[in-house]
């Protein structure tokens, strides 16, 4: 049996098309967690595979587990529909993506999940809570100039929380994370 060059080219092209389609299907259905995607601002952001590093919190936080990573932690308590929270949302999303493995940035929507704010001194939204690399409440280098609230247990005088009420800029957040031990190479 003799195959002409024309038929051989058709067979090879068909074979290559089938291989490309199978490859695309495999990547789409089995390798998506390993593929970087654009975050809408031109930056490449890899989706976190560890749920402790995902931005949005939808179930109770295990603060002790987060502290065990030895990374600075920022917990932002807000809501998707609050104006200052909306201004902070892209900043938090970008920082969460950029600082994977260097800091933990989490967002808790207290209107959707009010129970997730239990145990935290939330008076207004947004409110940010800061913990240093040792898992202790952040103590700024100049507490009087920091605009941060320090929550102290009234009986034991233990420092429980360091919070900021209201919106924060990326520069403000990065300054606090830097003082808390962020190594942003």
pLDDT at res. 113: 96
pLDDT surpassing 50 at residue 31: no
39-52 pLDDT per residue, tens: 444 444 555 578 99
- Percent of all residues in the chain with a pLDDT value above 70, rounded to a whole number: 79
pLDDT surpassing 50 at residue 177: yes
* Mean pLDDT of the region 136-159: 90
Summary mean pLDDT of the chain? 84
pLDDT surpassing 60 at residue 84: yes
106: Cβ–Cβ under 8 A, 6 or more apart, which residues?
A: 54, 55, 56, 57, 61, 66, 73, 74, 75, 76, 96
Q: What is the 3-state secondary structure (H, E, C) of 97-147?
A: HHCCCCCEEEEEECCCCHHHHCCCCCCCCCEEEEECCCCCECCCCCHHHCC
What six digits make up the tokens of 158? Answer: 């233990």
- CA–CA dist 136, 131 (Å, integer): 5
Neighbours of 167 (CB within 10 A): 19
In this structure, what is the dihedral angle of CA atoms 153, 154, 158, 160, given to the nearest 10 degrees? 20
What six digits make up the tokens of 3? Answer: 């195959």
* Mean pLDDT of the region 17-35: 55
The model's pTM: 0.73
Residues belonging to the chain: 185
């Amino acid at each position: 049996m003799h195959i002409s060059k024309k038929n051989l080219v058709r067979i090879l092209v068909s074979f290559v098309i089938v291989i490309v389609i199978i490859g695309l299907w495999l990547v789409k259905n089995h390798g998506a967690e390993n593929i970087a995607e654009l975050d809408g601002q031109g930056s490449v952001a890899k989706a976190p595979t560890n749920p402790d590093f995902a931005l949005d919190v939808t179930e109770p936080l295990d603060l002790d587990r987060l502290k065990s990573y030895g990374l600075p932690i920022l917990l932002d308590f807000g809501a998707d529909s609050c104006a200052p929270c909306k201004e902070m949302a892209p900043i938090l999303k970008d920082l969460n993506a950029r600082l994977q493995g260097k800091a933990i940035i989490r967002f808790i929507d207290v209107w959707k999940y009010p129970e997730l704010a239990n145990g935290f001194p939330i008076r207004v939204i947004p409110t940010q809570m800061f913990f240093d690399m040792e898992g202790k409440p952040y103590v700024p280098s100049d507490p009087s100039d920091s605009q941060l609230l320090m929550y102290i247990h009234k009986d034991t005088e233990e420092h429980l929380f360091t919070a900021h009420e209201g919106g924060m800029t990326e520069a403000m957040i990065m300054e606090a994370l830097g003082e808390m031990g962020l190594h942003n190479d």
